[in-house]
Structure 1
């Protein structure tokens, strides 16, 4: 994430997780507090995104877009 002060990475990741949870995302993996690394999926379309703090405090984004055979993800049980 450009222009983010590395000392605030935990605060920024916490704000992202809060926003994701309030906007139809479900947390799939959360490695905090050991690491600033969180992965989420959108409940509506299966879009996945993650943020991970790497060496030297740099945060990186990851994303995953799945193409579902019937056009939408299978219902979660």
Structure 2
């Protein structure tokens, strides 16, 4: 097995194993704590999304409704 294949195999194992290292830097201790809390919040939201599912947002429902609305025949004050 060549070095490239071994590195790819290690990378795949790390990605599928759920292991990650997030390195965070900041100029001050206060800024570092704030960044840490943001990362912890994002991690909790990601875990909840994986375990419980997600609902598309940000106007995705409106975009999906465009096709259906193209076929609607409106008249009078419905326009």
Higher relative contact order (CA 8 A, sep 6+): 1
From the two aligned structures, give the one with the greater helix fraction: 2
- TM-score, normalised on structure 2? 0.28
From the two aligned structures, give the one with the greater strand fraction: 1
- TM-score, normalised on structure 1? 0.29
**Structure number with larger C-alpha Rg:** 2
